A and B are shown apart, each in its own frame.
Chain A
Amino acid sequence: MTLTDRVADICRAHSGTEGALLPILHAVQAEYGHVPPLALPTVAKALGVTVAEVQGVVSFYHDFRAAPPGRHVLKICRAEACQAMGGAALAEAAKARLGVDWHGTSAQGVTLEPVFCLGLCAAAPAAMLNGVLAARVDATRLGEMLAEAGA
């Protein structure tokens, strides 16, 4: 199925939803790992809005990516409670190990993204690898997590 057909299907599945744009974008990203620019005209048409409006929404929200991430996505919490427990050092260790800055993708295919609070602030610092949460993470534990994920 072409991207356009598939995205049209997703839009149809949400036709009964009021304010369907975010649910549609989440569904598109769940399928493709990002919101492909090619999907926007289809979404705009289904909702009766302009492509510019859809683009404006996509770019507003941090969750939506314009390009595919690597095979793995590592999110590290940058917020205060995690900073209080060495979160900044953990982030530096991750950047050094992966050889990338925030939003970069390493040679092994790990995309590093910042996140502001995962709700694990009483067991900081916190991280999320491929959707799985981890608490009290240090550089050693981070290395194990990446190794377990094959990254």
Chain B
Amino acid sequence: MRIFVPADALARALGADAVAEALVAAAAARGETVQIVRNGSRGMAWLEPLVEVDGPAGRRAFGPFAPVDAAALFEAPDAHPKALGLTAELPFLKRQTRITFARVGVIDPADLADYQAHGGLSGLRRALAMAPEAVVDEVVESGLRGRGGAGFPTGIKWRTVAGAGIGQKYIVCNADEGDSGSFADRMLIEGDPFALIEGMVIAGLAVGADRGLVYLRSEYPDAIAVLTRAVDLAREAGLLGPSVLGSGHGFDIELRIGAGAYVCGEETALLNSIEGKRGTVRAKPPLPAIEGLWGKPTVVNNVLSLATVPAILAQGAAHYRDLGIGRSRGTMPLQLAGNVRFGGLFEVPFGLTLGEIVNSVGGGTASGRPVKAVQVGGPLGAWFPPALFDTPFGYEEFAAAGGLIGHAGLVVVDDTADMLALARFAMEFCAIESCGKCTPCRIGSVRGVETIDRIAAGDAAAEPLLRDLCETMRLGSLCALGGFAPYPVLSALNHFPADFARTSEAAE
């Protein structure tokens, strides 16, 4: 009997290890032999730990599973109180189009053979048979845009690096994933690390780079462990090393661990951090594609951008490009977080409206109270009120509605949320995380906190000051930390003026 118990950090944080132990003990007590596979997560947080059992009709799901549920799984699985039926039939999964996350939760992330049995390495094999320019063209054709936030076309970035002469070049994977409400990079690395490795190798072939570095945040100990092991396994199997799959092309990957600075997710701060410096932002130009790590041409891509490339190569650019809306092609792994009933990872083509995502996919709030607002795209993203729930999920569509999709994390809050407090938090976060290079960000954010405190104390005259300050930060900041922090602040102020209309009497 083969039983799947996720080793994903979220599942473990909800007791998956104890569940795995209980299952082994319960099987032993009955004299049965079981094989426990520690897979990634299927992305349904409310069902974790989600246990699955192999069966003739497919995998059957049970959850949320507790150690006390173990014995019954061997006695009468069909009548098990936590039985959910066939995993593939669960509505949350059935409605998805999984391309980037096709294998996450399905395979054993420590088993390269399992990876290949589920389509792994076919993209790389195809790439190895192509000219490097053709690989770049294929990625351009797919319409894939950077999933780290800025949405720059991945293939175009690669073309710049490919054209930057010969000599040392680097592929840097941005796995700093600092946005609140985001966990797709973590889940991908923990559930399908070879997809990231394969994507980095393909990027290396395409642009002529033989060294890759992954900058992974220290807050993700499980992902660090899984990726470290996967890189070792890939090296043993010849997927990494002096001759990738015997092709004669060399490529190897090194891990670098962050140290708790949000701004190091910004690509030039990240490069400084890898170089052993303070994580301050560099002025652009030069672009990292021309002068990146140690001054060499460097591709910096998000985990999801890189991990999607193998599927694009394997299935062809058209398959990916034909999904989505407008200039947002393909699928996006949405992350539903905060006060939401069905939280987790939901990969779909671009184009669902925000309301469909929050209410129909997410099921509204976990508290059962009305949805007040949704912050999309991390701490620098705007708060969307229900009045804007008809906004289709896409880069341009969200920009037109005064927001951004960022890394596609969505944080839902219910009607008890205090939008003034959340606006204050955005300024406080900017003050804590500012790299200090420019005044509007470093000083402006501190002033922002003070100004919001004045509004909270009933000083209505402070509101125009706050707006001026936001304008100064927006226009005068070198990077999006200071430049976009006004988004959550102004969206809260504009959409929820009542939360800022505190009379002095009320404050006293």
Q: Which residues of A contact B (CB under 8 A)?
A: 18-23, 25-26, 47, 56-57, 60-64, 79-85, 115-124, 126, 131, 133-136
In the complex, what's the smallest C-beta–C-beta distance from B231 to chain A, in angstroms? 15
In the complex, what's the smallest C-beta–C-beta distance from B425 to chain A, in angstroms? 7
Chain A residue at minimal CB-CB distance from B264: A61
Would you give 23 A-B contacts (Cβ < 8 Å), ordered by A?
A19-B274, A26-B259, A57-B278, A80-B375, A82-B180, A83-B425, A84-B412, A85-B338, A115-B260, A116-B433, A119-B182, A119-B183, A119-B186, A121-B182, A121-B338, A122-B45, A122-B337, A122-B344, A123-B45, A124-B338, A133-B221, A135-B13, A136-B14
Across the interface, do B218 and A63 meet the contact criterion of CB distance under 8 Å? yes
From B9, B339, B340, give the contact of A120 (CB < 8 A).
B9
The total of chain B residues at the interface (CB under 8 A) is 59
Lowest 10 A-B CB distances belong to which pairs?
Answer: A21-B276, A122-B343, A79-B180, A84-B338, A61-B259, A122-B45, A121-B337, A62-B260, A135-B13, A63-B260
Across the interface, do A79 and B259 meet the contact criterion of CB distance under 8 Å? no
In the complex, what's the smallest C-beta–C-beta distance from B472 to chain A, in angstroms? 24
Chain B residue at minimal CB-CB distance from A24: B276
Q: Return chain A residues, CB-CB under 8 Å to B192.
A: none
Report if B457 contacts A (CB, 8 A). no
In the complex, what's the smallest C-beta–C-beta distance from A82 to chain B, in angstroms? 8
Across the interface, do A119 and B413 meet the contact criterion of CB distance under 8 Å? no
Q: Return chain B residues, CB-CB under 8 Å to A79.
A: 180-181, 379, 429
Across the interface, do B178 and A116 meet the contact criterion of CB distance under 8 Å? yes
Report if B177 contacts A (CB, 8 A). yes
Across the interface, do A80 and B260 meet the contact criterion of CB distance under 8 Å? no
Across the interface, do A81 and B276 meet the contact criterion of CB distance under 8 Å? no
Across the interface, do B261 and A61 meet the contact criterion of CB distance under 8 Å? yes
Distance of A122 Cα from B411 Cα, bound (Å) = 9
Distance of A115 Cα from B217 Cα, bound (Å) = 12
Chain B residue at minimal CB-CB distance from A133: B13
Q: Return chain A residues, CB-CB under 8 Å to B278.
A: 56-57, 60
Residue among B9, B179, B180, B343 with most chain A CB within 10 A: B180
Q: Return chain B residues, CB-CB under 8 Å to A116.
A: 178, 180, 262, 379, 429, 432-433
Across the interface, do A117 and B14 meet the contact criterion of CB distance under 8 Å? no
Report if B257 contacts A (CB, 8 A). yes
Distance of A61 Cα from B280 Cα, bound (Å) = 11
Q: Which residues of B contact A (CB under 8 A)?
A: 9-10, 12-14, 45, 48, 177-183, 186, 218-222, 256-262, 273-280, 294, 335-340, 343-345, 366, 375, 379, 409, 411-414, 417, 422, 425, 429, 432-433
In the complex, what's the smallest C-beta–C-beta distance from A13 to chain B, in angstroms? 15
Chain A residue at minimal CB-CB distance from B180: A79
Distance of A105 Cα from B258 Cα, bound (Å) = 24
Q: Return chain A residues, CB-CB under 8 Å to B273.
A: 22
The answer to whether A19 and B411 touch (CB under 8 A), given A63-B218, A122-B183, is no
Q: Return chain B residues, CB-CB under 8 Å to A117.
A: 177-182, 219
In the complex, what's the smallest C-beta–C-beta distance from A35 to chain B, in angstroms? 10
Distance of A126 Cα from B345 Cα, bound (Å) = 17
Residue among B256, B277, B414, B432 with most chain A CB within 10 A: B277
Distance of A134 Cα from B48 Cα, bound (Å) = 13
Chain B residue at minimal CB-CB distance from A53: B277
The answer to whether A23 and B183 touch (CB under 8 A), given A18-B294, A117-B178, A123-B343, is no
Across the interface, do A120 and B13 meet the contact criterion of CB distance under 8 Å? yes
Chain B residue at minimal CB-CB distance from A62: B260
From B222, B276, B338, B432, give the contact of A22 (CB < 8 A).
B276
The answer to whether A120 and B10 touch (CB under 8 A), given A60-B261, A131-B221, is yes
Beyond A79-B180, A85-B339, 6 extra complex contacts between A and B, CB < 8 Å: A25-B259, A61-B260, A81-B337, A81-B338, A119-B10, A121-B411
